Structure 1
Amino acid sequence: MPKISVIVPVYNVEKYIKECIESLLNQSFSDFELILVDDGSTDKSASICDFYASKDSRIKVFHKQNGGVSSARNLGIEKSVGEWIAFVDSDDYVDAKYLENLYKSAYSCDLISCGFFVTNEFGEKTNSNVNPSGFFYQKDIADVVNNDWIVTSPWAHLIKTSLIKDNDVKFYENRSMGEDTIFVLSCLDKANCIRNIPELLYYYRTTPNSLLHPDERKYGKYIEDYMWSNNMVYSMKNGTFYFYYKRKCHALMTILYKKDMPLVKKISNESQKASGKKILCYWLNMSLKSKILMSYILFPKFIQFFVMIFLFKICLRG
């Protein structure tokens, strides 16, 4: 049984999949299986996966009808046999010590996270992200989430397989917005200990296909899924992810501003249920612009909506 199962959902990424696979095959840590789930690709991605599988026994390829990235990841989880699971997106790549450094940092934790670089479609670094390092136990996890000290995408983590399978944590296949976040937060909801390490080991590539550009035909579904994910966040860990929920509501209101003001007001009213004594602490840790945009939450509830609109007009002019 391998120590780690690396799950890569694959769909029409013939331009990038070779670099992704080779970065995993070149790992300094070798005790892993690589699960490539071809989600009905129509380009050469499937044949590229099969080629690599014929060269390395650690690679398993599963071909399925197109069902979306969540269904591909869920199939990967189902087929995995490793003690740990790592997700890698097929247009991304990883450092040669990605698995080694995550695994040796596991100790008694349920989830380990590393820093990452953001690159453009040509692999040129454009940004980086490192969260505060250290061990965080169950009592601390709400603070980690609310202060945005952890990546809420599936990649850049090593997650104990038993945490996922014993708690039946899955990706929601009927959602196209926020399902990644809900999966990670569901894991954090059940975790006893998590750890952040400072090394930047993952390369997240932004491409035209990876950026969200909802068109008018999908706009209603986009809003529905975003509101669903907001409410899912609020329901987790006895509601203690409330400030993260507030920020998600704020992000949605920012998107909707000048497009659907009645819905903005509805979301504003719904978000009043998320409050607590630590809210000022989390607010102080935000960037200046975010502090300004989010400062409406510090006003009395009956005028928050009007303060929010005023701040939007000032900070989001044009």
Structure 2
Amino acid sequence: MDLNNNFIKDLITVIVPVYNVEKYLEQCVDSILNQTYKNIEIILVDDGSKDKSGQLCNEFSNKYSQIKTIHKKNAGLGMARNSGLKIANGEYIAFVDSDDWLAPQALKNLYDSMTKFNCDYCKGGFQKVNDEGHVLFENINDFQLFEGTDAKRKLLPRLIGSAPGKHDSINMSVWGCLFKHQIIMKHNLRFPSERKLMSEDIVFDIDYMQYVKNACIISKSDYKYRQNAFSLSTSYREDKFIATKKLYKYLLNKMKALDYGESTILRIDRNLFVNLSGCIFQENNRSLREARKRINIICTDPEIRSVIKKYPRKKLGLKQRIFLSLILRKQVYLLYLLAKVIN
């Protein structure tokens, strides 16, 4: 144990929030156990699962000395990750969602770049896969090193969203990354509840990145993100539009307070547009009458209309311009049809 910070040197703690994933948990845990980087501990946080997930966690803990299990009352993904952080021993922290899995070299690739370039943050790409393991989409970036203030001034805005006229965003999820435990603990960084503030990952990233000196993006896609109809990111959320507006206001106020400037505000605006599409497209399974009523609320919202009108829409691609134009013109029925087609 390192007496200076109470973390075990070179140990990677992998925190896995678990909720009703008995079908996928074994593959997830096996992929972490089979990493080529062996100096790891795994913390499984059973977030009040109603299936056999909690029982499976106990079986893994009993079988493998490097696995610990926490059972807690259901409170959501962010709170589960916080519970794992409380008992983590590693110098480094990684997060893996329990319906996903890792390629064997995932942690080693992150660790090697993290240590080689003396970074406080390292991020790789990912592959979106289906239940059969077929790759549906690959997200991979060229290697990039952000030194000094560039980590928080140039990388962080790209985690929030793309600039007008560009596709330069970097996936903001905390999975597929390696973090320094010392930074998290020194500054008491924690995740908010996604029930109170959606996109808890970017909220954590913003806070964490304020203390990062060097960061790197590696050209690997070792994280396997499962397209799962029942995951938090894809399941229907009744208050999604309200939550979207709340996140937008939070990001706007936060980044203004941190003095990030107009270019970052435009990235926040574009992030809003992406979330608005999610609000509308999730209505595809509702009745026409109910869906049109909910979509109309979005189209007539004064704040949303103001943001769209002020944004330099001519710099966007054709599909995005059409989408925003449909909102401004209150073309509720066409938006509903678009949601049906896309889904």
Q: Same fold (TM over 0.5)?
A: yes
Q: 1:122 aligns with which of 132, 137, 152?
A: 132
For structure 2, the residue ranges without an aligned partner over 5 or more in a row are 1-7, 163-167, 281-293, 338-343
- Indicate yes or no: 2:147 matched with 1:140: no
Q: 1:169 aligns with which of 167, 171, 189?
A: 189
Structure 1 residues 261, 209: CA separation in 2 closer, same or farther (over 3 Å shift)? closer
Partner of 2:226: 205
**1:15-164 pair list within 5 angstroms:** 15-106=23-114, 107-136=117-146, 137-138=150-151, 139-145=153-159, 146-147=161-162, 148-164=168-184
Structure 1 residues 239, 58: CA separation in 2 closer, same or farther (over 3 Å shift)? same
Structure 1 residues 233, 316: CA separation in 2 closer, same or farther (over 3 Å shift)? same
- Indicate yes or no: 2:216 matched with 1:195: yes
Contact 2:305 2:328 in 1 (8 A): no
Task: Note the alpha carbon deviations across 1:235-278, whole angstroms, 9 max, x for none.
Answer: 224244312211122234443584314653322336789x8xxx
Structure 1 residues 54, 250: CA separation in 2 closer, same or farther (over 3 Å shift)? same
Q: 2:267 aligns with which of 236, 244, 264?
A: 244
Deviation at 1:293, TM superposition (A): 5.0
Partner of 1:5: 13
**1:147-296 pair list within 5 angstroms:** 147=162, 148-173=168-193, 174-175=195-196, 177-210=198-231, 211-214=233-236, 219=238, 221-234=239-252, 235-236=254-255, 237-240=258-261, 241-254=264-277, 255=279, 258-261=295-298, 264-269=301-306, 287-290=317-320, 292-293=321-322
Contact 2:95 2:175 in 1 (8 A): yes
Structure 1 residues 207, 310: CA separation in 2 closer, same or farther (over 3 Å shift)? same
Task: Note the alpha carbon deviations across 1:166-206, whole angstroms, 9 max, x for none.
Answer: 22221112426222222223323442322110111000001
Deviation at 1:121, TM superposition (A): 2.4
Q: After superposing the two structures, state which structure 1 stretch, 238-247 or 199-208, moved more.
A: 238-247
Counterpart code for 2:62: S
Task: Note the alpha carbon deviations across 1:48-97, whole angstroms, 9 max, x for none.
Answer: 11112122211111111111111111101111121111000000000101
Partner of 1:300: none
Q: After superposing the two structures, state which structure 1 stretch, 84-93 or 241-250, moved more.
A: 241-250
Structure 1 residues 35, 110: CA separation in 2 closer, same or farther (over 3 Å shift)? same
Q: After superposing the two structures, state which structure 1 stretch, 17-26 or 129-138, moved more.
A: 129-138
Runs of 4+ in structure 1 deviating by more than 4 angstroms, as ranges, are: 270-273, 310-313
| TM-score when normalising by structure 1 | 0.82
Deviation at 1:9, TM superposition (A): 0.2
For structure 1, the residue ranges without an aligned partner over 5 or more in a row are 297-305
Q: After superposing the two structures, state which structure 1 stretch, 126-135 or 257-266, moved more.
A: 257-266
Structure 1 residues 263, 82: CA separation in 2 closer, same or farther (over 3 Å shift)? farther
Structure 1 residues 162, 288: CA separation in 2 closer, same or farther (over 3 Å shift)? farther
- Equivalent position SS for 1:246: helix
Deviation at 1:224, TM superposition (A): 2.6
- Equivalent position SS for 1:35: strand
**Hey, what's the Cα distance between the residues in 1 that align with 2:296 and 2:60?**
47
Q: After superposing the two structures, state which structure 1 stretch, 71-80 or 247-256, moved more.
A: 247-256
The percentage of aligned residue pairs carrying the same residue is 30
- Equivalent position SS for 2:138: strand
Q: After superposing the two structures, state which structure 1 stretch, 92-101 or 130-139, moved more.
A: 130-139
Q: What RMSD over aligned residues (CA atoms) do the two structures have, in Å? A: 2.9
**Hey, what's the Cα distance between the residues in 2 that align with 1:25 and 1:8?**
13
Deviation at 1:163, TM superposition (A): 2.5
